[in-house]
Structure 1
Amino acid sequence: MQFRKRSASGRRRRWLLLGGVIGILTLSLAACASDDSANDAPGTSRTIQNKGSDTLLNVALAWAEAYREVDPSVTIAVTGGGSGTGIAALINGTVDLANASREIKEDEIAAAEQNGVEPVETVVAIDALAVIVNPANPVDQLTIDQLADIFTGRITNWQDLGGNDAPIILVSRESNSGTHVYFLEEVVRKGDSDNTDIFAAKTLMMPSSVGITSEVGRNPNAIGYDGLGYVTEDEKIIAIARTAADPFVLPSVETSDDGSYPLARNLYTYTAGEPTGAIAEYLDWILGPEGQQIVADLGFVPISQE
């Protein structure tokens, strides 16, 4: 089984796309009178279909909006739905770019190869995954072990964590979300591939980041997780430590970039084979100064310009 990770122009391709909408949001940006699509010939309109991670959605929409000024001949259709949805669309040949907040799985690579598709990975950003509670919650810091016990249901009352005598309300993304998969593997299972723990049955599964922030903002006993760029003043961010012996660290651009924050991750875009033409030009722009400034403006961590 072969799988290529792409590096263009000598630069590492790291980036994250931000999402937080309920259901599937589509933006089609067209500035050319021609109705021709998927055509790389000069002077004709070209269409790029971009689908996947809701974490990356807001950034993807902002990229598409800004790129209209760079190349008006390119139409970029941006759709969310989750990392798994985007990768499935790439496997089926219905999108050009699949956004993901997790790495592609081995079974997805195998399915793609059976369809004659060779997935090529481009890291487009770094995301700090913030653990959030209601501002009225007195708890300020937690370890990964405590988070695992919370989300598996082994700890069910805030009093056990130095908080109020109140039940803990768990809020998570749905299982088709790459953010859900990351939190399951790195927090619930603590990065142990042999660990089979799962989210507690009572966990509220939300279809979007908006659902998580809404529940946490209104419920003083709720705890959830979200990309740092989605956190609002209606939530409080918890400082996280790898172990009780390690320092508690808040997520930020700086702590994500230097590796001190435990829940920082890469975000990805996948293409069917090495990108060429309009798709390659668009990815190069995303990884350049203009595209990465949008990343920073939306609260995510831009890649280093090497």
Structure 2
Amino acid sequence: MRATAGVLIGLFLAGLTGAGPAAAGDAAGSMTIVGNGPELTVIEKMARAFEKANPRAYVDVQWDEISKPIELVKSGQAQLAVMGKPDPELKAIQVAWDGIAIMISLSNQTKEITTKQAADLFTGKIKFWSELGGPETRVLILDRPANRNIRDAFEQQLGIVGKIPDQAKVIGPDDKAIKTVAGTLAPNSAVTFVSLVPALEAVSSGVAVRLLTIDKVEPEKPPVKDGRYTLRRPVLFLSKKEPNPMVEAFEAFALSKEGQRILDEIYTPVDPKS
């Protein structure tokens, strides 16, 4: 339901006075959320739950893999962007962690590597898995799209920004990357990086893939949350720095127990605020 003129005027005045987020059920008005990563399903679910809790609120979720969410917020075409890194011109609120798993085929007996070896794998310095104690098969790097939040974070964490070979095959969605790794046959053995939760789900459902332990730490939610597993990225809500009651109400909802429960479906939650 879209807000009436009176409600919009009220929101405008509230913004001028620096009012905080609306109480649960009191948010009213409309807002647009944009993004280009794997968060679409969970953000849509959260938007519908937020609308149910706030009957006078309307949330439009717009997702496009080739969009530039930050620019849409800066231009006023959207009020909130879901991103993996901050922007100095915008306010950033962290709502979750996204662990990044390094995935190989189950037929590849390599089980553990160091951060340095991970960097060498994805820059092409390590060409055969036997260099890591694995099989006599070639390393086949499967890259992710350059505009994805996960790729930026992965490169930065490993210190390999711009160093993944250009000839590496690029695969978009996590599910397609997982299927490609599982189906790779000798003499190649693929390696890629995917969000932790879908990676764990693939393993638990019997997909023929393996997640590598990094620096003696297994890829699981608890070590992602406490930082022992260092391959992770923050899930951020970016918005303009000027007060916006609808945005603030949605941020508060995301950090509530219900919001964190929804985020837990594909991410590692932060501690809920209430």
TM-score, normalised via structure 1 length: 0.73
Gaps of 5+ in 1: 1-31, 110-117, 190-195, 242-247
Query: Does the Cα contact within 8 Å between 2:3 and 2:28 map onto a contact in 1?
Result: yes
- Determine whether 1:250 maps to 2:218: yes
- Aligned to 2:268, the other structure's residue is in SS state coil
Query: Structure 1 pair 218/103, CA: closer, same or farther in 2 (3 Å)?
Result: farther
Alignment of 1:138-153 (within 5 A): 138-153=109-124
CA root-mean-square deviation: 2.6
- Aligned to 2:43, the other structure's residue is in SS state helix
What is the match of residue 210 of structure 2? 236
- Aligned to 1:223, the other structure's residue is in SS state strand
Distance in 2 between the 1:278 and 1:59 partners?
19
Query: Structure 1 pair 41/206, CA: closer, same or farther in 2 (3 Å)?
Result: farther
Residue 65 of structure 1, CA deviation: 2.6
Residue 36 of structure 1, CA deviation: 6.8
- Determine whether 1:64 maps to 2:47: yes
> Aligned to 1:302, which of 261, 269, 274?
269
Count how many residue pairs are aligned between Structure 1 and Structure 2: 248
Aligned amino acid, residue 151 of structure 2: H
Residue 87 of structure 1, CA deviation: 1.2
> Aligned to 1:52, which of 35, 38, 48?
35
Query: Structure 1 pair 84/249, CA: closer, same or farther in 2 (3 Å)?
Result: farther
- Aligned to 2:100, the other structure's residue is in SS state strand
Aligned amino acid, residue 127 of structure 2: T
> Aligned to 2:181, which of 216, 220, 227?
216
Distance in 2 between the 1:293 and 1:214 partners?
28
The percentage of counterpart residues that share the same residue type is: 21
What is the match of residue 58 of structure 2? 75
Query: Does the Cα contact within 8 Å between 2:27 and 2:245 map onto a contact in 1?
Result: no
Query: Does the Cα contact within 8 Å between 1:188 and 1:199 map onto a contact in 2?
Result: no
Query: Structure 1 pair 44/300, CA: closer, same or farther in 2 (3 Å)?
Result: closer
What is the match of residue 128 of structure 2? 157
Residue 217 of structure 1, CA deviation: 2.6
Aligned amino acid, residue 144 of structure 2: R
Bigger Rg over Cα: 2
- Aligned to 1:168, the other structure's residue is in SS state strand
Distance in 2 between the 1:204 and 1:304 partners?
37
Residue 84 of structure 1, CA deviation: 7.2
- Superimposed CA distance per residue, residues 130-171 of structure 1 (whole angstroms, 9 cap, x where no aligned partner): 111122221111111111111111111112222221111111
Residue 271 of structure 1, CA deviation: 0.4
What is the match of residue 182 of structure 1? 153
Residue 41 of structure 1, CA deviation: 5.9
Query: Does the Cα contact within 8 Å between 1:152 and 1:200 map onto a contact in 2?
Result: yes
Distance in 2 between the 1:40 and 1:229 partners?
39
Aligned amino acid, residue 103 of structure 1: P
Aligned amino acid, residue 54 of structure 2: D
Gaps of 5+ in 2: 11-25
